[in-house]
Every structure is written in structure tokens, then in C-alpha cells.
Amino acid sequence: MSKDPNSTQLAVVGGGPGGYPAAFLAADLGMQVTLIDLEPKPGGVCLYRGCIPSKTLLHVAKLLGETHQAAEWGIQFPDPEIDLDQLRARKEKVVQQLTGGLGQLVKQRKISYIQGRATFLDARTLKIQDSAGQEEILNFQHAIVATGSRPATLPNLSLESERLIDSTSALELAGIPKTMLVIGGGYIGLELGTVYAALGTQVSVVEMMPGLLPGADRDLVRVLSKRLEKLFHSMMLNTTVAEIGEVKGGIQVRLEGDVEEAEQTFEKILVAVGRKPNSSGLGLENTRVEINQRGFVKVNQQRQTAEPNIYAVGDIAGEPMLAHKATHEGLVAVEAIAGHKVAYEPHAIPAVVFTDPELAWCGLTETQAKQENISIEVARFPWGASGRATTLGRNDGLTKLIIEPQTERVLGVGLAGAGAGELIAEGVLAVEMAALASDLRLSIHPHPTLSETIMEAAEVFFGQSTHAYRPKRG
Ligand code: NAD
């Protein structure tokens, strides 16, 4: 093993949920590893400006929502007083605790961590520039590129204004605006819209497609839409923002589409129209790595690029742009580098939207089955029939199984309801293990829990659900 500080067996560029697990596994497998990131500690967008801060704030939103709901059960809370400084400090503390923990794990594993910006000079050499502008050269045997993504912008709506924000600045929580327009009814728009609405902002959402969360099954989205109709001031579908301009006290927008009031003014505008892979500015043109038209690095099943000693994982390597998919890819890449026989071939990548209620799905969706003409049967169990959901006052939920009719194999699972993000893990296991509907039906689920809805959905498939009368036709 080389002790030369200018050379490493594995250079991992990017310390997010794709890069740091890869670096950790490589070190566990005995490789000499250098992890490079712009931040002082690993974590990436997920920990610093994404999943973790947003979920910290969404937890607060949930708590606030529950205090309102408690009024229906005879418990009145006074209107909450929100100390924004303390809320921000708690969010920072969560981030510091987790990134600090990762910093410790880097040390324990004897990984060399470099804070700086890495650029490929060729397929064996990186130039790393630190924040003071100092440069160093690092030679590597293998590299994993895990540089993630950044918020997409709308070219026709460029405006130099503090009122126009993206997910990063929204999470900084500079204040609680009176009104906010969220452009994009996807993951980020709905999650951050939920946070601000719970804190007291009048939130409006504009989505260019006919429904929220395009691509997700409509029956799941309906469960969420019903609640969001009460939480949000308005949801304008089939609508886009044609023009924006700063006016006194806000930004005026001109909306186009299915909308009554075309000109509206908002204190803040949050743009959440997708993310773009960070594949440029890395010097990849100095290697044989290939990038497709959408900016994603082309990889094979081992996540190896066209340059055989360079791998790419996470958002930069294609959709879905999800932290857990990045981690899995990172581990596959490292095992491939270690010479193990592995491939990235998941049957079920879970998707979770952490709104209230949460939406979660994995494997084949009903929407996808229709698009691809795949013959399926769908078994739905409404949470109105769940004892646990009733105790929680959360009958607004749905569990569905997508089943292959001939084999009775579970191909996909969908959930809408409180805690759906936790429940979907059972669905992932079922799909990955090629479980049959009878496996889910015959596995004893604890009572009273929401997990029973998965078992009862399997019973619905057989027309024999205990709590939902759904006789099998024909
Ligand atoms: P998204 O793709 O989920 O949603 C963007 C939405 O904006 C879409 O519904 C799209 O139709 C709409 N849109 C695009 N252009 C528009 C326009 N001009 N006017 C109106 N609407 C427009 O993207 P996102 O919400 O920005 O999130 C980016 C990515 O980050 C997601 O794809 C997801 O992979 C990831 N993410 C995941 C989570 C999670 O796992 N819970 C949370 C946040 C972000």
C-alpha cells in the first residue's frame, strides 16, 4: 500500500450519500481511500441542504398539525409562538450532529479527507483546490464520482431578487413570509410548501401538469391532495408562470393556464422544478467518461463509466435522484472495484414524499403498468377500515398492492397515509424477495398497527379481507 500523500488507491469525489458510504465500504475492504468534498465534513446536499434539514422542519410541521387536530378530541392548545431563531438552531444542531458523526467515522476508518474542489486532469490524476486557492495533485488508481445535483432554474424567469428562492435558501428559514408561491408540485415543492404553510405562510402552488407529483399513482396522490387543499391557499394545476417582475413588497407573476386570476403578487417565490446533475466543471472532458444529453454520466451495471477505472454514482449517474439509490450504487461500485461479482439491479427503489400524509411506493406502479401494457391486478385496502388508523384519527390513507395475476407475485406496493415512509420498507422487501400475495397474507402482522394494512391488502386480493368487505368477482 502506498504511503505517498499524493497518491491513493481510491479517490471518491463528493461526500454525499453516494460518496461517503462508498468511501467507508472501500476502507472496510482494506483500500486506501481519499474522500474529497467542498464541505468540512461529509454529508452532501442530503445532510446539509436537503433530506435532513427538511425532515427536521417537517417534523415540526407535523407537530403543529397534530396540535390543531387535537382540538377535535377535546384538547385545546393556544396558538403556537414560533421562535424562528431556536427552530433554525435546532435544525443546525441536527445537521452538525450528523455530519460531525460522519467526520468521526472518517477518522476511525483512516480515510484521508480533503476539503476542496476536485477536477480531473486525466484518468489517473485529480487537481484539488482548497478554499484558500491552494492546489494539490492526487494520483489515483480508481475514482468514484458522486458530485450530486443542484436545483434546476427556469431560464425565462431569471430575476436577481432575494424574494426568488430555491430549496437551499428556503431551508435557511430566513423568515416566515406572509405569502409564497411554490413553482412545481413535485417532492420539494410539496414538502417545503408543507413546512411554510404549517409555520403560517399562505402557500400557493403552481404545477404545469394536470396533477401534483406527476408519475405517481393518482389514487395515492388524491389522498394527499385532499389534505393539501385545506393546508394550502391554492393549487393551480395545468398552469405555468409566464412572467415575473419585482414590485413593491413582492414579486408579481403572470400565470398562464387553468387559472382565474392571471396576475398575482407574492412575498416569496420558491422554485422547485427539478434538479440537474453536477457533471460539468469536473474536468471529465479530460477523460473518456461520457455524458448524455441530459447531463447524466453514462454508466454500466457496475456503475463503471466509459473510462474503466472511473465510476459514477448517485444523482450524476441518472434517475431517480434519491439518496438511498445513490448509497446503493456507491456500494455496488466499490464492490465492483474490489473485484466482487456485483450489479446494480434493484427491483424496488422506494420513493417517499414526506408530506402529511406521506406517500410512498416501490417497484411497479399502476401508472407504469398502464403505460407499459403490463397485465396486473390491484388490491386496495382503505385505511378507513384500519383500527390503528382510527385510533390516530388518520383514516385518510390507502395501501395498495400491484400483483401479477398468473403468479400472484407482488410487483409493487403503494401507500398514502401517516407514516407511509416507514411502512414501505416491508414492500421493498416483498418485491425484492419475489413475495407472493399469500406470503404477505400469511405473515402475522402486529395488531393494532398500520402495517396490518399491507397484510389486509393481500387479503383483499383473495376477496377475504377481515375488515374490508371486498368479495372476489367472477
Ligand atoms: P420534481 O421533479 O419532483 O418536481 C418538479 C415539478 O415541477 C414537477 O411536478 C414538474 O411538472 C413541475 N414543473 C417543472 N417546470 C415547471 C414550470 N415551469 N411551471 C410549473 N411547474 C413546473 O423535482 P423537485 O421537487 O424539484 O425535486 C428534485 C428531485 O429531488 C426529485 O426528483 C427527487 O428525486 C429529489 N427529492 C426527493 C425527496 C424525497 O425523496 N422525499 C425530497 C426532495 C427532493
Question: How would residue 474 be classed by pLDDT, with cut points 50, 70 and 90?
Answer: low
**Ligand 1 within 6 A of 427 CB?**
no
Tens-digit pLDDT profile for residues 355-374:
999 999 999 999 999 999 99
Residues 247, 176, single domain; the answer is yes
Residue 277: its pLDDT value, please? Answer: 98
Q: Which three cell numbers stand for residue 256?
A: 398562464
- pLDDT at residue 76 tops 80: yes
| CATH code of 365's domain | 3.30.390.30
Question: What confidence tier does 342 reach under pLDDT thresholds 50, 70, 90?
Answer: very high
Tell me: do 399 and 312 sit in the same domain.
no
CA of 32 to the centre of ligand 1 (A): 38
What is the position in ligand 1's atom list of the atom closest to the CA of 157? 18
Q: Does residue 329 sit within a domain?
A: yes
Centre a 10 Å sphere on the Cβ of residue 290 and count the other Cβ atoms it contains. Answer: 13
Q: Is residue 431 part of a domain?
A: yes
Residue at a domain's end among 251, 273, 295:
273
**Rounded distance between C-alpha atoms, residue 386 and residue 451, angstroms:** 10
pLDDT of res. 473: 72
Pocket of ligand 1 contains residue 175 by CB under 6 Å: no
Decide whether any atom of ligand 1 lies within 6 Å of the 214 Cβ. yes
The CA angle 376-379-382, to the nearest 5 degrees, is: 150
Give domain status of residue 469, yes or no. no
Q: What is the pLDDT of residue 1?
A: 46
- Same domain as 141, residue 104: yes
Q: Is the Cβ atom of 435 under 6 angstroms away from ligand 1?
A: no
Query: Would you say residue 379 has pLDDT above 90?
Result: yes
414 class by beta-carbon count within 10 Å (0-12 exposed, 13-18 middle, 19+ buried): buried
The residue whose CA has the least distance to atom 19 of ligand 1 is: 240
Identify whether 124 is part of a domain.
Answer: yes
Same domain, 33 and 145: yes
Model pLDDT, residue 5:
79
Residue 400 lies in a domain: yes
Decide which of 273, 307, 323 is a domain's last residue.
273
Write down the catalytic residue from 59, 68, 447, 467.
Answer: 447
Taking the CA of residue 189 as reference, the ligand 1 atom at the shortest distance is: 25
Based on the fold, state whether residues 22 and 98 are members of the same structural domain. Answer: yes
Q: Is the pLDDT of residue 425 over 70?
A: yes
Confidence class of residue 160 from pLDDT cuts 50, 70 and 90?
confident
pLDDT at 131: 83
Mean pLDDT, residues 190-216 taken together: 97
Average pLDDT, the chain: 96
The answer, yes or no, to whether any atom of ligand 1 lies below 6 A from the CB of 61, is no
pTM of the model: 0.96
Write the CATH number for 90. Answer: 3.50.50.60
Indicate the residue among 273, 296, 319 that finishes a domain.
Answer: 273
Q: Among the atoms of ligand 1, which is closest to the Cα of residue 185?
A: 9
Are 34 and 51 found together in one domain?
A: yes
Query: What average pLDDT does range 419-446 have in this prediction?
Result: 98
Q: Same domain, yes or no, for 21 and 143?
A: yes
Statement to judge: residues 29 and 143 lie in one domain: yes
Q: Are 316 and 454 found together in one domain?
A: no
pLDDT for 91-131, tens place per residue? Answer: 999 999 999 999 999 999 999 999 999 999 999 999 999 98
Examine residue 99 and state whether it is found in any structural domain, yes or no: yes
- Asked if the model's pLDDT at residue 155 lies above 90, the reply is no
**CB distance 318 to ligand 1 below 6 Å:** no
Pair 336, 342: CB distance under 8 Å: yes
Domain of residue 314: give its range: 7-65+74-150+276-337
Same structural domain, 167 and 142 = no
Mean pLDDT across the stretch 86-90? 97
Same domain, 115 and 193: no
What share of the chain has pLDDT > 90, as a percent?
95
Please give the backbone phi and psi of residue 273, each rounded to the nearest 5 degrees, phi first.
Answer: -110, 30
| pLDDT classification of 2: cutoffs 50, 70, 90 | very low
Atom of ligand 1 nearest to the CA of 239: 20
Question: Tell me, what's the pLDDT at 184?
Answer: 98
Same structural domain for residues 88 and 226? no
Q: How many whole angstroms separate alpha carbon 379 and alpha carbon 264? A: 43
Q: Are 201 and 177 in contact (CB under 8 A)?
A: yes
Inside any domain, residue 379: yes
What is the DSSP secondary-structure string of 373-440? T---EEEEEEGGG-HHHHHTT----EEEEEEETTTTEEEEEEEEETTHHHHHHHHHHHHHTT-BHHHH
Q: Domain count of the chain?
A: 3
Q: Is residue 305 in a domain?
A: yes
